[in-house]
Structure 1
Amino acid sequence: MSGLEITLTGADFLWPGGPGPGPLTIRDGRIADTPAPRRVDLAGFLVLPGMVDAHGDGFEHHLAPRRGALTEPALGLPAAEAELAASGITTAMLAQFVSWEGGMRGPEFAARMLAALDRARDTLATDLRVQLRLETMFLDAYPALEEMVARHRIGYVVFNDHVPHAALAAGKRPPRLTGQALKAGRSPEAHLALLRHLHGNAAGVPAALDALAARLIAQGVRLGSHDDSTAAERRAAHARGAHISEFPESVAAAEAAREMGCAVVMGAPNLVRGGSHKGNAGAREMVAAGLVTALASDYHPPSLARAAFALVDAGLCDLAAAWRLVSRGPARMLGLEDRGALRPGLRADLTVIEPATRRVAATISGGRVSYLAGEAAARFLG
């Protein structure tokens, strides 16, 4: 897929030093400092650094449009990319479970998805990467996870624990058991037996997880933890090398993360809707307190751009600071120093916005057009 060689003019550009006029030239997939012969006038549009989505599992809806209807991953990945591109996202970290939950969250499906993405990657404009989300009580999956990390050069692993320990310790039937069992293709009885087995692993998990974390870090893998509920949980995760805190459930956990120099990721849907759908700490209050490193799409890619503008509308920060949370902030957190800003030499990753509607008009990833619509399409094609 060939890239653009073009100079954009007329728009308002969000440069590293703040908003200002152009021009901006794209050549060989990067932002160049000398103009190209072809020029496109984008007067009336806003050109921003392409968004870097640090965590998204919305792609699951494209790979399994109905419960139990698992498609071949290769069929769903282009549709997932299309949604991301239409949302202005140029780099996306697909959050793939390696979980006891089974189905498309089980290790077997994860291996299929990774293989399909490897085959499809060169045909996609958006830079799709994978974060593996390991359920820590699932000790039997540790070897499979390590094999996938090595085979597919995974650079980011996050630790989760969604086993309902409190209910199991009390001898109670966990909530939503039947629905989870059906989703996993198990009987409720078999699912309950599995949960009890996983709960019984708890004593041996810390040592096994410490050893796994050490091996992954030795390979250069970044580690994170998901849903830290307390400062103590965050400190424990930090001690084993997990220096990214995804969606901390309390301000105290986020504060502990920042005190230790860790990155904090919060969900854009949480910020847009004004709070967590589970009643946890709100992303908006955490941004206001200066605790957030990056916003992520979580389950809804269109929320990422909306969240940045919501921060501006609320008066919590200007557009440059808000947009850093969806571009440069997550890029640096993930070690992607070649993107996240409009600067010569960096990847030509751009999100073009109609200011009046704040709709994405065009998305360019690595100098390749991944989305183009409306008046912006007429300008490029005319």
Structure 2
Amino acid sequence: MIRNAQVVTPEGVRENASLQVEDGRIAEIREGTIPGIRVIDASGNYLFPGFVDLHSDAIEKGIEPRPNTFFPVDIAVYELDKKIASCGITTMYHSLSFAELEVGLRNNNTAAGIIRQINGLAGKLKVNTKIHARFEITDLGAVPFLEGLIRDGQIDLFSFMDHSPGQGQFGDIIAFKNYYGPVYAKTDAEMDEIIERKLQAKNDNSPRSIALLIDLCRQHGIAIASHDDDSREKITWLKEMNIGVTEFPVNIEAVRAARELGIDVCLGSPNVVRGLSQARNLSAREAISRGYGDILCSDYSPMTMLHAVLTLERLGILPLHEAMKMVSLTPARAVGIADHTGSLEVGKEADMVLVDYSDDFPRVLKTFVAGREVFATC
């Protein structure tokens, strides 16, 4: 049992409460304690639900921290797993991209191999480990790889993205070059070649490939998301295709349409913490303050999820329990796992984070997965 905690539930904060765990699940939330069982004194600190992170490509940087500098997958996964637990994340969707026309790990053989390796390690890791496969629609060669992974039960979340210049995240060719060139040490000529190939591929069979993979995901019960949507037209298409999540929509037009059509808007927690988008697109704080945000993911920085929640509360944008839903219950619902995780409720797995927020700077004290302590500061 954890006693003397401020337990954050979907309905609000329960002061001076105790939470009892039996067989890895939450058995009771109440005032006072139950004699005869092991007790952890929370000392008045916050007890949050464990965070559900639907999109983190931190694993890519863990494996390839610098261009063409690679570490073994198992080392990267084990070390990142420890960091994830220390950040309060209890369910992590590692995001691997299939983007052969780009650079780095984002090619088909490498991505498919990494996914299979991560899944092979999953039972040995601290947190619940899942796979988010990201399909660049200009990479038609990725389709057979993704088909195989989906059929083999290797993928838990699928999204499609279009990073070709002229739309989405990159409104023009200059923006595309300015981002990818320095990050992956590409010359102007190399970038021109990549751009030409991407635009050509986009004009080929992208719609057919998207439809095929969406249908296959549906057959296997895999949740689907879209990425970098920039117009009402694209959001309307998502609704027509019964796709429930738009990741990182780039402008107010897109998030407003998503809200009207009942599509969850997933924004980046780094955007909330920093107060602006890395690509100078939509401000997450602005979107959430206008009622247009539903989910926060860590994107490239797992450490920002807790800080984003408390930033929203501190700035008066959302009450604490509503901000907390953005990193727990709502993402869990979006991918169909809210029946067993995502909130501190009786019957759910005891995925929890004990946080000291006594001096206006949060520190994770303990993280629990199914009632098992996987991280502690001492």
TM-score normalized with structure 1 length: 0.88
Aligned to 1:121: 122
Gaps of 5+ in 1: 1-6, 378-382
Aligned to 1:4: none
Aligned to 1:353: 355
Q: Distance in 2 between matches of 1:173 and 1:57?
A: 21
Aligned to 2:11: 17
Task: Tell me the alpha carbon deviations over residues 239-265 of structure 1, each in whole angstroms, 9 at most, x when there is no partner.
Answer: 334321001001110111122211110
Aligned to 2:215: 214
Q: Distance in 1 between matches of 2:276 and 2:104?
A: 30
CA contact (8 A) 1:78 1:124 kept: yes
Please state how far the C-alpha of 1:39 moved relative to its aligned partner.
1.2
SS of structure 2 residue aligned to 1:33: strand
Q: Distance in 2 between matches of 1:316 and 1:257?
A: 20
Please state how far the C-alpha of 1:44 moved relative to its aligned partner.
2.7
Please state how far the C-alpha of 1:230 moved relative to its aligned partner.
1.3
CA contact (8 A) 2:270 2:299 kept: yes
Q: Distance in 1 between matches of 2:192 and 2:133?
A: 25
Please state how far the C-alpha of 1:173 moved relative to its aligned partner.
11
Please state how far the C-alpha of 1:146 moved relative to its aligned partner.
1.3
SS of structure 1 residue aligned to 2:13: strand
Gaps of 5+ in 2: none
Aligned to 1:231: 232
Aligned residues: 364
State whether structure 2 residue 29 is matched by structure 1 residue 29. no
Please state how far the C-alpha of 1:188 moved relative to its aligned partner.
6.6
Q: Distance in 1 between matches of 2:77 and 2:175?
A: 37
Aligned to 2:144: 143
Please state how far the C-alpha of 1:129 moved relative to its aligned partner.
0.9
CA contact (8 A) 2:19 2:26 kept: yes
CA contact (8 A) 1:99 1:138 kept: yes
Q: Distance in 2 between matches of 1:180 and 1:371?
A: 33
SS of structure 2 residue aligned to 1:10: strand
- Identity fraction in percent: 28
Please state how far the C-alpha of 1:197 moved relative to its aligned partner.
2.9
- 4+ runs of 1 displaced by more than 6 Å? 170-174
Q: Distance in 1 between matches of 2:194 and 2:86?
A: 40
Aligned to 1:380: none
Q: Which amino acid aligns with 2:122?
A: R
CA contact (8 A) 1:246 1:264 kept: yes
Task: Tell me the alpha carbon deviations over residues 321-359 of structure 1, each in whole angstroms, 9 at most, x when there is no partner.
Answer: 111111111111111121111112101100111022311
TM-score normalized with structure 2 length: 0.89
C-alpha RMSD of the superposition: 2.5
Please show how residues 169-248 of structure 1 align to structure 2 within 5 Å.
Answer: 175-176=177-178, 178-179=181-182, 182=185, 192-203=192-203, 204-248=205-249
Aligned to 1:93: 93
CA contact (8 A) 2:99 2:138 kept: no
Please state how far the C-alpha of 1:301 moved relative to its aligned partner.
1.0
SS of structure 1 residue aligned to 2:327: coil
CA contact (8 A) 1:73 1:112 kept: no
Q: Which amino acid aligns with 1:9?
A: R
Please state how far the C-alpha of 1:135 moved relative to its aligned partner.
0.4
Please state how far the C-alpha of 1:109 moved relative to its aligned partner.
1.6
CA contact (8 A) 2:82 2:126 kept: no
| Bigger mean CA deviation after superposition, 83-92 or 98-107 | 98-107
Q: Distance in 1 between matches of 2:166 and 2:275?
A: 29
CA contact (8 A) 2:329 2:342 kept: yes
Please show how residues 1-382 of structure 1 align to structure 2 within 5 Å.
Answer: 7-20=1-14, 21-33=16-28, 37-100=37-100, 101-164=102-165, 175-176=177-178, 178-179=181-182, 182=185, 192-203=192-203, 204-337=205-338, 338-356=340-358, 357-373=361-377, 377=378
